[in-house]
Amino acid sequence: MRTGRTLGPLLLGLFVGLSIIAALGVTPAYAKGSGSGPTYSCTASVTYTTNTFYVKTTVTATGGYLPGPNENDNVKAYINGVLYNTQSSTYSIGNNVASTTVTIPVSSNGSGSYTFQSAILNSKGVQLTSCTGTYTL
């Protein structure tokens, strides 16, 4: 048994060497897949026939696909700034563009400015995007 020798410098060298190797060869976990995912946008077009609005919402995923298999379009309708109707539509999606139409009735004397806010939710209830359409009677 030998005495008088310390292993301190040897262990320090080993630790420094492994630290350098680790720093060169390992990337942080959060950096993996840090590329941007799809961005979602929508347009809401509004048409009107006797006492009925039709709000067609078209959703586009740029740089990816809609999360699917179903999306929900929740439409809140306002007349002169006051909420008067809420409708929802569930629809199946294709690749990266999907559309649905929500039908909203209005009374025969309902003249004024109508605003339709369409919020697109995925199957987990997370909002992907929203858009607004307007119509004046």
Please state the length of the chain: 137
Inform me whether the pLDDT recorded for 104 exceeds 90.
yes
DSSP symbols for 23-58:
HHH---GGGTT-S---EEEEEEEEEEETTEEEEEEE
What's the mean pLDDT in 40-62? 95
Q: Is 15 exposed, middle or buried, given 0-12, 13-18 or 19+ CB atoms closer than 10 A?
A: exposed
What's the mean pLDDT in 18-47? 60
CATH topology of domain 39-136: Immunoglobulin-like (2.60.40)
Report the pLDDT value the prediction gives residue 109, as an integer from 0 to 100: 74
Return the domain boundaries, the chain.
Answer: 39-136
Q: Is the peptide bond before 9 cis (omega within 30 degrees of 0)?
A: no
Report the pLDDT value the prediction gives residue 12, as an integer from 0 to 100: 40
DSSP symbols for 55-111:
EEEEEEEETS----SEEEEEEEEEETTEEEEEEEEEEE--SSEEEEEEEEE--TT--
Alpha carbons 84 and 77: distance in angstroms, whole number? 6
Report the pLDDT value the prediction gives residue 25, as an integer from 0 to 100: 42
Inform me whether the pLDDT recorded for 13 exceeds 60.
no
28: pLDDT confidence band, cut at 50, 70 and 90? Answer: very low
Report the pLDDT value the prediction gives residue 131, as an integer from 0 to 100: 98
pTM: 0.70
The mean predicted confidence, pLDDT, of the chain is 80
Inform me whether the pLDDT recorded for 7 exceeds 70.
no
Report the pLDDT value the prediction gives residue 31, as an integer from 0 to 100: 37
Report the pLDDT value the prediction gives residue 27, as an integer from 0 to 100: 34
